[in-house]
Amino acid sequence: MDVAPTVLDLAGTAHPETEYRGRVVALLRGRSLLPYLERRSDTTHDAEEAIGWELFSCRAVRQGNWKAVFIPAPAGVGTWQLYDLAADPGETNDIAGTRAAQPATLLASWQR
């Protein structure tokens, strides 16, 4: 989601917002990575910002160091899993059962 805003930033042009030459254009959700790549910023997204995505029926939402992942069976377990990326960057230890409030917070962000 950050690639298109970055390319537009590199090209020195702006996104056309909601219409271009009489055609409807979808709004971009991401942000340019250019400030981060040029070392003018330490991050692209704030830790409080929830970012979600879906691809091939697999879903994920991340906020700060927390990440919830849903991978349907048979490839995955078919339930939401929770990872603390600061303690487990390889996402090997699902802690959804031990952190009652965190999955609910992330899933509410996913629904939005």
Residue 98: what pLDDT?
Answer: 84
**42 is a domain residue:** no
- Facing residues of 59 across strands? 54, 70
Q: Say yes or no to pLDDT of 73 above 70.
A: yes
Which structural domain, as residue segments, surrounds residue 103? 50-111
The residue assigned the tokens 């989601």 is: 1
- Facing residues of 84 across strands? 66
Residue 17: what pLDDT?
Answer: 86
Give the confidence band of 59 by pLDDT, cuts at 50, 70, 90.
very high
- The mean pLDDT of 22-34, rounded to a whole number, is 90
- Dihedral angle of Cα 45, 51, 53, 59, to the nearest 10 degrees: 130
Residues 59 and 105 in one domain: yes
Residues 58 and 107 in one domain: yes
Q: Say yes or no to pLDDT of 81 above 90.
A: yes
**15 is a domain residue:** yes
SS3 67: strand
**75 is a domain residue:** yes
Tell me the whole-structure pTM to 2 decimals.
0.72
Cβ-contact 68, 81 below 8 angstroms: yes
Residues 71 and 26 in one domain: no
Q: How does the average pLDDT of the chain come out, rounded?
A: 90
Residues 55 and 92 in one domain: yes
Residue 100: what pLDDT?
Answer: 65
